[in-house]
Amino acid sequence: MYETWEELENSIQNCKKCKLFQNRTNIVFGTGNKEADLMFIGEGPGADEDLQGEPFVGKAGKLMNMAFLALGIKREEVYIANIVKCRPPSNRNPEEDEAVACLNYLRNQVILVKPKIIVLLGSVALKNILGKEYGITASRGKWIEKKGIWYMPTWHPAALLRDDTKKIDFIKDLKLVLNKISDI
């Protein structure tokens, strides 16, 4: 375990635990308030994120920002990270060995942030954080509590780009998060 953000980020910068490091432009560490009560976890960086070194800056990120704006969530007040820190080729889902190689980094981020609520964006985040037995369709919009942290699985913003009907669920789920965080 890394005691400081600097130690953790330096370790990730030099990481070669899986093949994803071979084609990265930048690691995509995470961004936002490092003491946030609310954390969002996605699956992995896309092309825009790889270029800029920041999560959720492409089309899906812009859509997420619009939802944040509509709900009064300030991006700089939450913490945003991904399961993997390097871009999978062609924006494919991270393979199991790639996710496993990165999960301790993410666990360390969660330990350092100490969020009260984590929003799991999509199936990859859900399965890697809470377990393979969870499915996003059955779990989204339902609270799951583990080890003192509340989890809200919801659609990944990229899924909203493919299916407009999921936007309503996404907004409903984020409203549930806002209601709960004010009660914790």
Alpha helices in 53-121 (DSSP H): 59-71, 96-113
Give how many domains the chain has, as a whole number: 1
pLDDT band at 179 (very low <50, low <70, confident <90, very high): very high
DSSP 21: G
Q: How far apart are CA 20 and CA 54, in angstroms?
A: 16
Instruction: Summarize pLDDT for 64-111 with one digit per residue, the tens.
Output: 999 999 999 999 999 999 999 999 999 899 999 999 999 999 999 999
- What are the tokens at 69? 């704006």
Residue 92: left (phi > 0), alpha (psi -120 to 50), or beta?
beta
Report residue 9: phi and psi, to 5°.
-65, -40
- Containing domain of residue 94, as a range? 5-181
Instruction: Summarize pLDDT for 108-140 with one digit per residue, the tens.
Output: 999 999 999 999 999 999 999 999 999 999 999
Q: What is the DSSP string of 77-93?
A: GSEEEES-SSPPGGGPP
> What CATH number is given to the structural domain containing 16?
3.40.470.10
Contacts of 143 (CB under 8 A, 6+ apart): 150, 151, 152, 176, 180
pLDDT at residue 60 above 90? yes
